[in-house]
């Protein structure tokens, strides 16, 4: 697979950074991740919006203009010639002269991976709740320490993903947003101190003729009374959650509201 | 300068990691930093203790045994032939097959930099307080997002370093431990939710004929009543702090207790 490193498209095997890069020295960088369907990037402008926003929030300069970056992405995607794929744009603090301050030239690289999204609507997962608040919540930073550290705990508990909560407030999964269906059949997603996902945004934008869909401050108590739960992300679209901390949600199968939304969102994306 | 990358000593310019390394992908790794004086590592065993402890806490496998790593450090230090230097041992999550789980083979590299420690006892700095609690406080992880992000704020405020506090409790600086001298001339350092520094440990171990030196839970209120303040680290030994958030500590010069300890600790290290 080819990758873009700064201004050059090279073979992925050759793609390296010097060890003085601030990502390697101090974990400092941001990224974004989008998918292609039938060789075309989906929600590209939203991902670029968020990429440049994360960079700005973290004070990282981006040498590439939005137009240049778009052109590079198009070239790379054409060259790799995959139908369905994930595309990751990463920006690091660059080669810091003192190993601590952000370089005036950040490093940018783009990788692409073969990736087919699940469209089996009967699949569901279990979550484990965990008290944690991501730092720099609204920026997509490289900081996944807690999530990676928790992977063996997840396996031990027989769960598939983590639901972060903080001081009783529901937040997000490490790589996905959280939604629940309450007793009034309202579809609600956590409102603050989260990374606002592009899939989440489009579900809110899409709306539904059948249900109210909104963002709201959600609590652990709302979770206990939820009729249905699902998570959303670029790689998952809508993924039903049927178990939380070992307790079944509803009858342990994807719920009717979730299934309607999955169908509607599938049409929204794949036309 | 030569560097060690896994089992090979190579030129620093050539030292790279592939972009699939988990430090680059997810900021995942740990490190330690020690100094050499007259070509000899100082407190090597303490730094190795902490390095292996950080690795274990973060579930990172270390291929190199302690003896092998010691031998590699000795070879590298001999080859670079610097009298005074800083030596950094970094361990990352390795080339993760899925970009999320820790590889069974972590990457280890050791870099060395020319570095002469300040022994001017009249130098002092100013701190800016900031509400923050480091995650995985007792492990020396790569996560310096907050500290790096705050560098322009520090400059704006005319301060030199940051003092983290959390819920009214004093913690640490991003790369140094915190000490204060209270109204009873007791020398106290924050006790919990911090990275326990090797210099801090040796100051507690050294003690003083003249003063009680101890660790204790310290509060913002203790800071307001402090007669003297200093910070400690491998690169700073003892460094007086004479200003906090723009307010002078004592008369704005390094205090008498600090100066005695600096002299005692200088003797302790340099003999």
**Rg of chain B, C-alpha, whole Å:** 19
- Mutation for testing the B interface, residue in A9, A10, A23, A139 having most B CBs under 10 Å: A23
CB neighbour list of residue B236: distance below 8 Å, 6 or more residues apart: B117, B118, B176, B199
Q: State how beta strands B161-166 and B125-131 pair.
A: parallel
Judged by a CB distance cut-off of 8 A, whether residue A133 touches chain B is no
Chain A, residues 56-85, CB within 8 A of chain B, namely 58-59
Judged by a CB distance cut-off of 8 A, whether residue B9 touches chain A is no
Whether residue A143 and residue B143 make contact (CB cut-off 8 A), yes or no, is yes
Confidence at residue A121, expressed as pLDDT on a 0 to 100 scale: 84
Confidence at residue A59, expressed as pLDDT on a 0 to 100 scale: 98
Residues from chain A contacting residue B109 (CB–CB below 8 Å): 19
3-state secondary structure of B59: coil
Name which of A18, A100, A148 is nearest B28 (Cβ-Cβ): A148
Judged by a CB distance cut-off of 8 A, whether residue B270 touches chain A is no
Name which of B19, B101, B151 is nearest A151 (Cβ-Cβ): B101
Confidence at residue B245, expressed as pLDDT on a 0 to 100 scale: 98
CB-based contact B88:B110 (threshold 8 Å) = yes
A130-187 per-position pLDDT tens digit: 999 999 999 999 999 999 999 999 999 999 999 999 999 999 999 999 999 999 999 9
Name which of B19, B111, B143 is nearest A27 (Cβ-Cβ): B143
Closest Cα in chain B to A4: B19
Cα B14 from Cα B3, distance rounded (Å): 9
Closest Cα in chain B to A103: B148
Closest Cα in chain A to B98: A113
Whether residue B24 and residue A90 make contact (CB cut-off 8 A), yes or no, is yes
Closest Cα in chain B to A134: B135
Confidence at residue B60, expressed as pLDDT on a 0 to 100 scale: 98
Residue A144 DSSP label: -
Label residue B120 by pLDDT band (50, 70, 90).
Answer: confident
- Mutation for testing the A interface, residue in B4, B6, B23 having most A CBs under 10 Å: B23
Confidence at residue A128, expressed as pLDDT on a 0 to 100 scale: 98
Flag whether pLDDT at B115 surpasses 90: no
Closest Cα in chain A to B109: A19
Confidence at residue A120, expressed as pLDDT on a 0 to 100 scale: 83
Q: What value does the mean pLDDT take over residues A67-95?
A: 97
CB neighbour list of residue B211: distance below 8 Å, 6 or more residues apart: B181, B185, B186, B187, B257, B260, B261
Confidence at residue B178, expressed as pLDDT on a 0 to 100 scale: 98
Label residue B106 by pLDDT band (50, 70, 90).
Answer: very high
Residues from chain B contacting residue A109 (CB–CB below 8 Å): 19
Label residue B100 by pLDDT band (50, 70, 90).
Answer: very high
ipTM for the complex? 0.96
Q: What value does the mean pLDDT take over residues B192-207?
A: 97
- Give Cα separations from A250 to A124, A189, A218, A223, A226 (angstroms): 13, 18, 19, 12, 8
- Mutation for testing the B interface, residue in A11, A26, A114 having most B CBs under 10 Å: A26
Q: What value does the mean pLDDT take over residues B46-70?
A: 98
Q: Give me chain B's average pLDDT, please.
A: 96
Residues from chain A contacting residue B27 (CB–CB below 8 Å): 23, 27-29, 141-145
A90-146 per-position pLDDT tens digit: 999 999 999 999 999 999 999 999 988 878 888 999 999 999 999 999 999 999 999
Nearest to B110 by CA among B6, B19, B239, B237: B6
CB atoms inside a 10 Å sphere around CB A227: 16
B138-188 per-position pLDDT tens digit: 999 999 999 999 999 999 999 999 999 999 999 999 999 999 999 999 999
What values do phi and psi take at B265, rounded to 5?
Answer: -75, -35
Whether residue A59 and residue B15 make contact (CB cut-off 8 A), yes or no, is no
Judged by a CB distance cut-off of 8 A, whether residue B23 touches chain A is yes
Chain B, residues 163-182, CB within 8 A of chain A, namely none
Based on the number of CB atoms within 10 Å of its own CB, is B219 exposed (0-12), middle (13-18) or buried (19 or more)?
Answer: middle
Flag whether pLDDT at A260 surpasses 90: yes
Confidence at residue A271, expressed as pLDDT on a 0 to 100 scale: 80
Whether residue A26 and residue B152 make contact (CB cut-off 8 A), yes or no, is no
Residue A40 DSSP label: E
Confidence at residue B234, expressed as pLDDT on a 0 to 100 scale: 97
Residues from chain A contacting residue B3 (CB–CB below 8 Å): 19
Label residue A270 by pLDDT band (50, 70, 90).
Answer: confident
Whether residue A151 and residue B102 make contact (CB cut-off 8 A), yes or no, is yes
Q: What value does the mean pLDDT take over residues B57-66?
A: 98
Label residue B70 by pLDDT band (50, 70, 90).
Answer: very high
Judged by a CB distance cut-off of 8 A, whether residue B28 touches chain A is yes
Confidence at residue B270, expressed as pLDDT on a 0 to 100 scale: 86
Q: Report helix angle A256-270 to A198-206, nearest 10.
A: 100
Confidence at residue B119, expressed as pLDDT on a 0 to 100 scale: 80
Q: What 3 state SS string does A189-229 have? A: EECCCCCCCHHHHHHHHHCCCCCCEEEECCEHHHHHCCCEE
Q: State how beta strands B237-244 and B125-131 pair.
A: parallel
Flag whether pLDDT at B57 surpasses 90: yes
Nearest to A112 by CA among A71, A83, A155: A83
CB-based contact B228:B257 (threshold 8 Å) = yes
Whether residue A27 and residue B28 make contact (CB cut-off 8 A), yes or no, is yes
3-state secondary structure of A34: strand
Whether residue A148 and residue B5 make contact (CB cut-off 8 A), yes or no, is no
pTM greater than the 0.90 cutoff: yes
Closest Cα in chain A to B56: A149
B163-175 per-position pLDDT tens digit: 999 999 999 999 9
Judged by a CB distance cut-off of 8 A, whether residue B95 touches chain A is no
B202-258 per-position pLDDT tens digit: 999 999 988 999 999 999 999 999 999 999 999 999 999 999 999 999 999 999 999
Closest Cα in chain A to B60: A149
Q: What value does the mean pLDDT take over residues A26-31?
A: 98
Nearest to A54 by CA among A99, A8, A24, A89: A89
| Look-up of token digits 């906090």 | B244
Cα A88 from Cα A33, distance rounded (Å): 4
Residues from chain A contacting residue B146 (CB–CB below 8 Å): 135
């Amino acid at each position: 697979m080819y990758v873009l490193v700064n201004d050059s498209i090279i073979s992925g095997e050759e793609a390296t950074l010097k060890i003085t890069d601030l990502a390697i020295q101090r974990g400092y960088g941001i990224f974004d991740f989008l998918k292609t369907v039938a060789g075309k990037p989906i929600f590209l402008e939203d991902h670029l919006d968020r990429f440049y926003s994360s960079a700005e929030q973290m004070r990282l300069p981006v040498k590439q203009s939005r137009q240049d970056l778009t052109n590079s992405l198009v070239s790379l995607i054409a060259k790799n010639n995959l139908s369905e794929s994930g595309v990751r744009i990463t920006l690091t603090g660059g080669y810091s002269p003192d190993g601590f301050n952000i370089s005036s030239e950040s490093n940018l690289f783009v990788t692409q991976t073969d990736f087919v999204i699940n469209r089996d609507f009967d699949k569901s997962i279990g979550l484990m709740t965990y008290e944690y608040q991501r730092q720099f919540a609204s920026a997509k930073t490289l900081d996944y320490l807690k999530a990676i550290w928790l992977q063996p705990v997840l396996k031990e508990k027989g769960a598939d993903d983590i639901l972060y909560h903080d001081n009783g407030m529901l937040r997000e999964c490490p790589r996905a947003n959280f939604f629940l269906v309450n007793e009034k059949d309202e579809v609600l997603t956590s409102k603050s101190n989260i990374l606002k996902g592009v899939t989440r945004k489009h579900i809110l934008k899409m709306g539904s003729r059948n249900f109210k869909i909104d963002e709201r401050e959600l609590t652990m108590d709302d979770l206990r009374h939820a009729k249905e739960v699902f998570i959303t992300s670029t790689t998952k679209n809508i993924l039903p959650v049927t178990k939380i901390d070992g307790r079944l949600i509803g009858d342990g199968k994807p719920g009717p509201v979730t299934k309607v939304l999955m169908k509607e969102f599938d049409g929204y994306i794949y036309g």
